[in-house]
Amino acid sequence: MLRRFSFLFLVSWYIFAVVFAQAAPTPWLGSPEGLQPALPLGWPPVNAEGAHVQVVAREYRFDNGPFLSGIVAKEAEILAGPIEAIVSSAEGEQKLVGAPAQIKSTSPAKVTLHANAAAGPVAIDSASTVELDGMIRTDFTLASPTGATIDNFTLRIPLRAQYAKYLYHYPGQWGSVRNAGALPAQGWSHAFKPFVWLGDETRGLGWFAESDQNWTPLDNPQAITITRHGNIVMLELHVIAAPRSLRQPLRFTFGFQATPVKAPTRDVWDYRICHEGNYGIETTLYRPPARVMYPAAGNIDLRQGTVEMWIRPTFDPNLPVPHGDRGLLNQELFSLQLPHNYTIGYYWNVDDHGMRLYIQHRSQYPVLIGERSFWRKGDAHHVAFTWGKELCLYVDGKPAVRVPYQGPLAPALDKGNIMLGGTHAQFIIEELRISSVQRTSFPPTRQFARDKYTLLLDHFNQVNTKVRTIQPIKGRPGRLSAHVAAVDNGQSLQLSRPGPDVTYLDRLAELGVRTIVFHEQWSDIQNFPDFKKHGQQLQSLVTACHERGMKLLLYFGYEMSNTAPTYKDFADECLVAPRTGGYTRKPDQTAYPVCYRSHWQDFLAQSIAQMMDIYDIDGVYLDGTANPGACTNGRHGCGYESINGDRRPTYPIFAVRRLMQRIYNIVTTRKPDGLVNVHQSTVMTIPTLAFATSYWDGEQLGSVSRVMGALESLPLDSFRTEFMGRQWGIPAELLCYGQPYTYPQALAISLPHDVLVRGTGWDNLELESSLWRAMDSFGRQEAKWQPYWANADLVQATPASIKVSLYNRGAKGVMLVVSNLGNSAVEAAVTLNTKALGLPNKTMATDVLSGKSLFWTGNKLHIQMEPLTFRLVLVK
Ligand SMILES: [Zn+2]
């Protein structure tokens, strides 16, 4: 009751807001949404004492002035010495040193410190803020009271080499992961980049700056260098590398952030996100395609013949025909898919209320015949069509339609297929016979006999639904898709999912989905809550999701559409400059990237809050929203005029970070377990991602062709750097749209890293669902994860292409993820140190997904593995 009351209250509030909005056209401008609380839910407060600051999983020390003298991340000191600020002037090279930083103010969410340092004629004055996620913002001036000219100003960040194995830098490049991977043996150098991170699989350190303003010279190809010195990896920022007068102080803002930024208690295995959101999925019946495919060659003669079947409709053939999309009510039974764009189709047509036959060549239909029948659901009927001297349709043994169509159905069979079923095929087929003669009489027996004219005869009694094959009595064998079921005690085939009808939403619930993302099409205007038209549908969908214990996330993104009411007044101020992109979608519109340093930040915050308040959604899916893309739009403070006279970009890291924190607050103050799921491919800028509950990465490779091996396009060191989430502190999910690897291949790469691939498409979702279930019944939550790069004392695997990661529950068993990441099939030999793992003496090894026992000697496993495949093996 209370909920109903608050909903009505919110609706009236909204009506009021809309009415008010007409008087004041921009009620969102200056919105305070998300600015409170200062300490976001779930974060421990910042702790400071002296020059030392503690945040979750890390401690920072500022013993020498403005810059860090020590960083402990995940119990390890990662600096090999203090960060040093070095200047060169007429007085030679000197280190700027200062007293320990002094705390100026503290609050649960942040600490500010003041520090200065000096050397010869040069001084630094700095104010640093350390925020709850360990983001340090240091604003400092480099000045000289005497107006000295300096030749050099460098920040030297010495890292212990064992914690600087991997390098990530932003921006990256679409189509590659070259900006993420093992730190090259020879080190690395680059012109200014706004974000650089070095780390290992557990921790790291990021440095960032929004622009290269005051860096000298501009475009110095060696502005950022990383060099190796024994056990030290030295990251150097060559801020001034050419003579520069300090008559005017130079201002800089640098950011530092050690990782991981938090210790998540839930990850993508808990969130179970899918992307199947749409209006009406709570009422539309789930009718997955179900097909049987036989090769056409040898199974049919195009010159003359007969196709006949005994069938039972499992739909109601007498339902009234609705207006609108009636095609969805047709029921596909039989088709011949032939080369040169020929299709012969034989199906139940909703307008005829009976069987129809057509020959289609490209967009032409030289034959289209049908006849009404008066069938009832579940009754058995003999249906047939014949060709040669004429075309005939038979129903229950009697001729129904005849047309004078002579000769072959199509010119060639080649590699064509015979298909039973399709997307909508609510039939049980008892018998199929294809003959090389035009039959004219059909005995009423329910089982067909084989004679000298029989090319294909199937009683459907030799069906293997596990390996999805079918062996006819006569003719070449076929293959089954998922959802084809053997029924009638294995004597018939059901061309649809057996059991009672379920809706799409129910099916998602059955699969174990917990979070549904509704992509951009939830609103007719891109990244804009134009919900007037769909309000009721959205309300119904949210309610239905909640009734099933599922969350619904709505899409918000990075653009403003030219159909948005705000476009006319706010495009110039809010869009990224120079204007980029131009994404088009239906209904007709073009959307351009916005910069969240602009007022559009308030719009987005207000919109998300509004959608949560009115529709009770459970969080957001953010497409690129966390990406601090380059922008020169001075109307909202981006970009700057360089001394060369050109306008150079800002990467608005702090503004995007602020928006992300606001969104996190908006979501979690309303729903403590709400989600902020970020899609950020190529962009691992941790200060803008820290408030995400998980990220979804990998679209940058979606346009890479399969010619390149999957691991060549996504090498393991790159995966460990950008796609694993662990050392960043944010749960990760891999994106795969079928290129450059298939969904199961992508899993072979991701699973050894404890990372799931979001199941897009039903087949993929079903595979992902089986992984969720396998890990649930094993008890992944209670297991210790021991990845392939750190488990040599527990498991050895050959050949080298085999990677094995373990989920260890000791005496309760071990789950192995075994992946063959090579390009050829191998016999994998996996030897477990059963004693060290704490396994009992007598154990069995089972392939969890197939349920089959594996060859297991008690400590050694042998598995035949195709390239880029994985197995989930349970040893207990
Ligand atoms: Zn901007």
Each residue's pLDDT tens digit, 533-566: 899 999 999 999 999 999 999 999 999 999 999 9
CA of 595 to the centre of ligand 1 (A): 4
CA of 204 to the centre of ligand 1 (A): 28
- According to DSSP, the residues that pair with 253 across neighbouring strands are 139
Inter-axis angle of helices 743-750 and 762-778, nearest 10 = 30
CA of 571 to the centre of ligand 1 (A): 12
Tell me what pLDDT residue 14 has: 52
Tokens of 244: 């520069």
CA of 198 to the centre of ligand 1 (A): 27
CA of 601 to the centre of ligand 1 (A): 11
Q: Is the pLDDT of residue 624 over 90?
A: yes
Q: Is the pLDDT of residue 663 over 70?
A: yes
Q: Cα–Cα distance between 159 and 82 in angstroms, integer?
A: 9
CA of 656 to the centre of ligand 1 (A): 10
CA of 577 to the centre of ligand 1 (A): 7
pLDDT band at 2 (very low <50, low <70, confident <90, very high): very low
C-beta separation of 596 from 559 below 8 A: no
Q: Is the pLDDT of residue 13 over 80?
A: no
C-beta separation of 168 from 179 below 8 A: yes
- Per residue in 174-208, pLDDT (tens digit) is 999 999 999 999 999 999 999 999 999 999 999 99
Question: Half-sphere exposure (CA, 13 Å, Cβ side) for 317?
Answer: 23
Q: Cα–Cα distance between 126 and 142 in angstroms, integer?
A: 9
Neighbours of ion ligand 1 (CB under 5 A): 595, 597, 631, 633, 638
pLDDT > 90 fraction of the chain, expressed in percent and rounded? 88
The CA distances from residue 420 to 350, 470, 483, 485, 624, in Å, are 18, 12, 13, 13, 43
- Could you tell me which residues come within 8 angstroms of residue 765 by beta carbon, excluding any fewer than 6 positions away? 274, 276, 508, 511, 513, 759
Mean pLDDT of the region 273-280: 96
Tell me what pLDDT residue 531 has: 82
Q: Cα–Cα distance between 782 and 774 in angstroms, integer?
A: 14
Q: What 3 state SS string does 280-327 have?
A: CCCCCECCCCEEEEEECECCECCCCEEEEEEEEECCCCCCCCCCCCHH
CA of 502 to the centre of ligand 1 (A): 48
C-beta separation of 143 from 153 below 8 A: no
CA of 624 to the centre of ligand 1 (A): 15
Tokens of 60: 């920072």
CA of 94 to the centre of ligand 1 (A): 37
The type of residue at 705 is S
Tokens of 788: 């392939």
pLDDT band at 22 (very low <50, low <70, confident <90, very high): very low
Q: Is the pLDDT of residue 262 over 90?
A: yes
Tell me what pLDDT residue 705 has: 81
CA of 688 to the centre of ligand 1 (A): 15
Tell me what pLDDT residue 18 has: 46
Mean pLDDT of the region 421-439: 94
Mean pLDDT of the region 757-766: 91
C-beta separation of 401 from 410 below 8 A: no
Tell me what pLDDT residue 289 has: 81
CA of 275 to the centre of ligand 1 (A): 30
E strand spans, 350-436:
354-361, 364-370, 381-387, 391-395, 398-403, 417-422, 427-435
CA of 602 to the centre of ligand 1 (A): 14
CA of 652 to the centre of ligand 1 (A): 6
Find, among 723, 734, 730, the residue nearest to 759 by Cα. 734
Tell me what pLDDT residue 19 has: 42
Inter-axis angle of helices 535-547 and 600-615, nearest 10 = 60
CA of 35 to the centre of ligand 1 (A): 20
CA of 160 to the centre of ligand 1 (A): 36
The pTM score is 0.87
Q: 305's torsion region: left (phi>0), alpha (psi -120 to 50) or beta?
A: left
Tokens of 268: 């993508």
CA of 222 to the centre of ligand 1 (A): 26
C-beta separation of 98 from 21 below 8 A: no
CA of 136 to the centre of ligand 1 (A): 22
CA of 192 to the centre of ligand 1 (A): 18
pLDDT band at 25 (very low <50, low <70, confident <90, very high): low
Tokens of 117: 């340092």
pLDDT band at 153 (very low <50, low <70, confident <90, very high): very high
CA of 623 to the centre of ligand 1 (A): 17
- Could you tell me which residues come within 8 angstroms of residue 617 by beta carbon, excluding any fewer than 6 positions away? 542, 552, 553, 554, 611
C-beta separation of 288 from 788 below 8 A: no
CA of 722 to the centre of ligand 1 (A): 25
Mean pLDDT of the region 156-161: 98
User: What is residue 440's DSSP assignment?
Assistant: -
CA of 578 to the centre of ligand 1 (A): 10
pLDDT band at 781 (very low <50, low <70, confident <90, very high): very high
- According to DSSP, the residues that pair with 631 across neighbouring strands are 650
Tell me what pLDDT residue 8 has: 46
CA of 597 to the centre of ligand 1 (A): 5
Inter-axis angle of helices 504-511 and 535-547, nearest 10 = 30
CA of 163 to the centre of ligand 1 (A): 34
Q: Cα–Cα distance between 495 and 480 in angstroms, integer?
A: 10
Tell me what pLDDT residue 4 has: 42
Q: Cα–Cα distance between 179 and 171 in angstroms, integer?
A: 8
DSSP states along 774-833: HHHHHTGGGSEEE-GGG-TTTEEEESTTEEEEEEE-GGG-EEEEEEE-SSS-EEEEEEE-
Q: Is the pLDDT of residue 23 over 60?
A: no
Mean pLDDT of the region 847-857: 93
CA of 406 to the centre of ligand 1 (A): 70
- According to DSSP, the residues that pair with 875 across neighbouring strands are 814, 845
CA of 599 to the centre of ligand 1 (A): 10
The type of residue at 344 is I
Q: Is 865 strand, coil or helix?
A: strand
The angle subtended at Cα 138 by Cα 132 and Cα 139, nearest 5°, is 135
CA of 828 to the centre of ligand 1 (A): 53
pLDDT > 70 fraction of the chain, expressed in percent and rounded? 97
Phi/psi of residue 804, each to 5°?
Answer: -125, 120
- Per residue in 791-847, pLDDT (tens digit) is 999 999 999 999 999 999 999 999 999 999 999 999 999 999 999 999 998 999 999
Tell me what pLDDT residue 285 has: 87
CA of 669 to the centre of ligand 1 (A): 28
CA of 41 to the centre of ligand 1 (A): 29
Q: Is the N-terminal amide bond of 587 cis, ω within 30° of 0?
A: yes
C-beta separation of 671 from 612 below 8 A: yes
pLDDT band at 5 (very low <50, low <70, confident <90, very high): very low
**Of 304-313, 463-472, 506-515, 652-661, where does mean pLDDT reach its minimum?**
463-472
- Could you tell me which residues come within 8 angstroms of residue 317 by beta carbon, excluding any fewer than 6 positions away? 348, 353, 373, 375, 376, 377
CA of 174 to the centre of ligand 1 (A): 21
Tokens of 339: 């080369």
CA of 4 to the centre of ligand 1 (A): 42
Tell me what pLDDT residue 707 has: 67
C-beta separation of 114 from 124 below 8 A: no
Mean pLDDT of the chain: 94
Q: Cα–Cα distance between 290 and 495 in angstroms, integer?
A: 5
CA of 646 to the centre of ligand 1 (A): 16
C-beta separation of 122 from 148 below 8 A: yes
CA of 609 to the centre of ligand 1 (A): 23
CA of 555 to the centre of ligand 1 (A): 22
Phi/psi of residue 683, each to 5°?
Answer: -115, 95
- Per residue in 315-369, pLDDT (tens digit) is 999 888 777 667 778 999 999 999 999 999 999 999 889 999 999 999 999 999 9
CA of 265 to the centre of ligand 1 (A): 34
CA of 29 to the centre of ligand 1 (A): 17
CA of 643 to the centre of ligand 1 (A): 20
